[in-house]
């Protein structure tokens, strides 16, 4: 275990209040650390205190769950300020080598850094409200979902949201106004798969309010055309569906009464011909997604909209970032927002069994109330983004930390910028980085 463990010194509500109230003075940042400009003030709802030993998500009161589901994204860590910056642990013999991509929400910036933390390349956009994801494509393009500057207090202003593709030099290949959020990637055929918000009536659930439906949306590779859409709400309400619905009380969003029923935060097109004949969940054209506010990971048929597998009810708390592994299992980030400690799980969708897990010792020392990512590396280690702490780390199958990184950008109080996700690449798969002049950003 690492000796420089950082403890959380306040509740999320108290930390957010300090974040909103602080003065953003670059001069107050420590020498040698990257001073971050202030994001727009957008404080999330307070979170009710809860003893980590209280048990499963089912034991939360309705009011506590509503507060957790409305929790907004913080821009800076609410951990006690520390000197930790850059790479602080690197076991060269056991860490998997590569280049790391991570994105910084409020800076609208994505960075490629080597295993020692040196900045190799960066993409950035100004003006901008936030980037909610940044996905590196073959050839060095970056696929981004985000939101332009807006006067809206909520982080979901449909009129300001976009999907964008940037070239390696940062030039815009296309930017489309669409309610894309949280995730976007290329399918094997070169189309773009993303998640788009659509508020719509669902009188069977709420006679006097809208439901924030999620459309799993396919676009052409140039972003010009919507090729197809599959509705999560329709999939759940279709005849014969056995998906237990957790009703989320509507709240005012952009002047409308809306239930955030799903809050999908990840999407992956399944293309596994080696597994396709072994179980229906692996059929070509299925989609893996995460319905955060339903506490569930889902695999559905994109063509028919049928839910083939769902897992997590009364086991997960507001999870993130499921991804399909080579062995057919699903790796996912269980935030544990109510119990106040997080973990990473590997689940077999054929048996619903948890076959591997990681949690810290003590558990409370690894906690991201929101966001989070995980990646199984070729050597069997797991790369994890402890997003709200602005930290990423790599663990062995036994749970030993062999690499650890802290975002170097800090605010005036020394609190580091949060990280959306992190992913590691083989430098051999990034030949464009060797082109003279490609690495345009410097520390």
Cα separation, 100 vs 231, whole angstroms = 33
Q: Residue 427 phi/psi, 5° resolution?
A: -55, -25
- Average pLDDT value for residue range 61-88: 61
pLDDT in tens, 389-421: 999 999 999 999 999 999 998 878 878 889 999
Of the listed ranges 50-59, 134-143, 223-232, 391-400, the least confidently predicted one is 50-59
Cα separation, 332 vs 310, whole angstroms = 13
Task: Work out whether the CA dihedral 278, 284, 289, 295 comes out positive or negative.
Answer: negative
Q: Residue 182 phi/psi, 5° resolution?
A: 70, -35
Residue 296's nearest CA partner among 345, 239, 363 is 345
Q: Which residue has the tokens 């409020």?
A: 106
Q: Residue 434 phi/psi, 5° resolution?
A: -85, -5
Q: How do 34-35 and 409-410 pair as beta strands?
A: parallel
Cα separation, 419 vs 403, whole angstroms = 16
8 Å CB contact between 8 and 79: yes
Reported confidence tier of residue 385, pLDDT bands at 50, 70, 90: very high
pLDDT at 266: 96
Token representation of residue 359: 């949690």
**More confident call, 47 vs 215:** 215
Reported confidence tier of residue 38, pLDDT bands at 50, 70, 90: very low
pLDDT in tens, 159-209: 899 999 999 999 999 999 999 999 999 999 999 999 999 999 999 899 999
SS (H, E, C) the chain: CCCCCCCCCCCHHHHHHHHHHCCCCHHHCCCCCEECCCCCCCCCCCCCCCCHHHCCHHHCCHHHHHHHHCCCCCCECCCCCCCCCEEEEECCCCCCCCEEEEEECCCCEEEEEECCCCEEEEEECCCCCEEEEEEECCCCCEEEEEECCCCCCCCCCHHHEEEEEECCCCCEEEEEECCEEEEEEECCCCCEEEEEEEEEEECCCEEEEEEEEEEEEEECCCCCCEEEEEEHHHHHHCCCCCCCCCCCCCEEECCEEEECCCCEEEEEECCCCCCCCCCHHHCCCEEEEEEHHHCEEEEEECCCCCEEEEECCCCCCCCEEEEECCCCCEEEEECCCCCCCCEEEEEECCCCEEEEEECCCCHHHCCCCCCCEEEECCCCCEEEEEHHHCEEEEECCCCCEEEEEECCEECCCCCEECCCCEEEECHHHCHHHHCCCCCCCCC
Cα separation, 398 vs 433, whole angstroms = 34
- All structural domains of the chain, each given as residue ranges with its CATH number in brackets, are 12-76+91-434 (2.120.10.30)
Model confidence at 34: pLDDT above 90: no
Model confidence at 21: pLDDT above 80: no
Q: Residue 292 phi/psi, 5° resolution?
A: -55, -50
What percent of the chain has pLDDT above 70? 79
The set of residues, in sequence order, having a beta carbon less than 8 Å from that of 29 and lying 6+ positions away, is 35, 410, 411, 412, 414
Token representation of residue 217: 């949306």
Q: Which residue has the tokens 């509507």?
A: 250
């Amino acid at each position: 275990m690492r000796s420089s463990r950082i403890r959380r010194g306040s509740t999320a509500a108290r930390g957010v209040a300090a974040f909103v109230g602080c003065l953003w003075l670059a001069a107050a940042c420590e020498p040698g650390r990257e001073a971050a400009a202030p994001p727009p003030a957008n404080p999330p709802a307070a979170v009710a205190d809860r003893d980590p030993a209280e048990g499963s998500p089912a034991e939360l009161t309705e009011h506590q769950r509503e507060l957790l589901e409305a929790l907004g994204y913080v821009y800076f860590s609410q951990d006690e300020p520390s000197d930790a910056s850059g790479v602080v642990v690197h076991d060269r013999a056991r860490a998997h080598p590569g280049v790391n991509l991570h994105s910084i929400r409020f800076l609208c910036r994505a960075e490629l850094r080597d295993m020692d933390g040196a900045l190799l390349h960066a993409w950035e956009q100004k003006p901008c409200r936030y980037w909610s994801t940044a996905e590196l494509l073959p050839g060095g393009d970056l696929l981004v979902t985000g939101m332009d500057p807006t006067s809206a207090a909520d982080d979901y202003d449909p009129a300001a949201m976009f999907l964008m593709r940037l070239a390696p030099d940062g030039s815009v290949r296309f930017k489309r106004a669409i309610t894309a959020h949280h995730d976007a990637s290329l399918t094997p055929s070169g189309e773009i798969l993303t998640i788009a918000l659509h508020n719509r009536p669902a009188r069977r659930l709420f006679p006097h309010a809208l439901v924030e439906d999620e459309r799993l949306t396919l676009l052409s590779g140039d972003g010009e055309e919507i090729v197809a859409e599959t509705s999560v709400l329709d999939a759940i309400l279709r005849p014969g569906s056995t998906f237990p619905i957790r009703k989320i009380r509507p709240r005012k969003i952009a002047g409308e009464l809306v239930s955030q029923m799903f809050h999908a935060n990840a999407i992956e097109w399944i293309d596994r011909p080696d597994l396709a004949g072994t179980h229906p969940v692996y059929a070509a054209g299925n989609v893996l997604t995460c319905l955060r506010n339903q506490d569930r990971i889902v695999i559905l048929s994109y063509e028919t909209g049928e839910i083939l597998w769902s897992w997590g009810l009364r086991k997960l708390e507001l999870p993130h970032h499921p991804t399909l592994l080579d062995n057919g299992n699903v790796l996912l980030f269980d935030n544990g927002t109510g119990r106040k400690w997080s973990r990473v799980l590997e689940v077999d969708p054929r048996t619903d069994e948890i076959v591997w897990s990681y949690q810290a010792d003590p558990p409370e020392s690894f906690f991201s109330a929101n966001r989070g990512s995980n990646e199984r590396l070729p050597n069997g280690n797991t790369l994890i983004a402890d997003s709200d702490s602005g930290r990423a780390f790599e663990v062995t199958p036994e749970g030993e930390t062999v690499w650890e990184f802290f975002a170097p950008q800090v605010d005036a109080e020394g609190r580091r910028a949060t990280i959306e996700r992190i992913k590691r690449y083989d430098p051999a798969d990034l030949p464009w980085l060797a082109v003279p002049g490609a690495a345009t950003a410097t520390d």
